[in-house]
């Protein structure tokens, strides 16, 4: 009935639009951060011709043999283990950022802010806290990755692969990691915008509840 229509109308409000943008940004952060731990890496050798590295780099590391192959495998595994905690932490944060706006959308659809206007002020506070915390989180994420790339493991790995003519093993941030940082900045700005929208909606709801006869 009319109640269901009013609930659906919430999805067309400015606050709901901001929250859906936050959902999209959080999903992209989750996907991009997962790239860092999406594969254990490791030297495959000629027997594993079906491995993704075979098709991406060609020859399944055919330039390696004997001790070089074993050393490449060890360096890949150590490099992967160095990046794994950072990637998992980024994925955990991305997952939390994905759940948070989904919960707020459900709260808005159920019209909780109308019956409890103070919820909008709580929502505003949460947005500001998350936006402020996003800045040091991004710093920690990028600083930790740069520490891994500046490690002796990464440098030796880069030199070993470069000596065999392989490209793409540079000790620098790759596209997905840079995208994670940029998406995090965009998410922080979206949270600040949502905080402003929540304050505006609080004023509107407060004014409307002061004039029930005009509704």
DSSP 37: G
3-state SS of the chain: helix, strand, coil percent to 5? 80, 0, 20
pTM for the whole structure: 0.80
Per-residue pLDDT, 57 = 43
DSSP state of 87: H
- Identify whether the C-beta of residue 37 lies closer than 8 Å to the C-beta of residue 83: yes
CA distance 33 to 91: 6
Domain for residue 84, yes or no?
yes
Burial of 136 (0-12, 13-18, 19+ CB in 10 A): exposed
Q: Is the pLDDT of residue 80 over 70?
A: yes
Q: Does any domain span residue 164?
A: yes
d(CA 192, CA 174): 28
215 domain-assigned: no
Q: Would residue 50 count as lying in a domain?
A: yes
User: Considering its fold, how many domains does the chain have in total?
Assistant: 1
Average pLDDT of the segment spanning 86-115: 90
106-152 pLDDT, tens digit per residue, is 998 888 888 888 999 999 999 999 999 999 999 999 999 999 999 99
Closest CA to 180 of 141, 149, 148, 143: 141
In angstroms, the CA 68 to CA 12 distance is 60
Q: What is the pLDDT of residue 39?
A: 46
The domain containing residue 138 runs over which residues?
A: 2-210
- The answer to whether 121 and 202 are in contact (CB under 8 A) is yes
Predicted local confidence at residue 196, as pLDDT: 93
Which CA distances in Å does 50 have to 56, 154, 189? 11, 26, 43
pLDDT of 157 over the 70 cut: yes
């Amino acid at each position: 009935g009319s109640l269901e229509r009013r609930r659906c109308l919430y999805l067309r409000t400015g606050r709901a639009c901001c929250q859906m943008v936050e959902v999209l940004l959080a999903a992209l952060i989750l996907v991009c951060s997962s790239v860092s731990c999406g594969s254990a890496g490791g030297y495959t050798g000629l027997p594993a011709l079906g491995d993704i590295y075979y098709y991406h780099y060609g020859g399944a590391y055919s330039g390696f043999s004997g001790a070089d192959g074993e050393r490449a495998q060890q360096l890949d595994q150590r490099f992967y283990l160095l990046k794994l905690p950072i990637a998992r932490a980024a994925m955990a944060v991305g997952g939390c950022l994905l759940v948070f706006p989904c919960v707020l959308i459900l709260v808005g659809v159920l019209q909780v802010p109308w019956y409890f206007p103070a919820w909008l002020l709580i929502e505003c506070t949460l947005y500001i806290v998350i936006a402020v915390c996003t800045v040091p989180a991004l710093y920690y994420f990028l600083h930790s990755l740069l520490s891994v790339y500046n490690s002796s493991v990464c440098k030796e790995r880069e030199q070993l692969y470069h000596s065999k003519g392989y490209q793409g093993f540079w000790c620098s941030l790759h596209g997905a990691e840079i995208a994670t940082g940029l998406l995090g900045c965009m998410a922080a700005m979206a949270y600040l915008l949502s905080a402003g929208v929540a304050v505006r909606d609080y004023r509107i709801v407060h004014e409307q509840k002061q004039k029930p006869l005009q509704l």
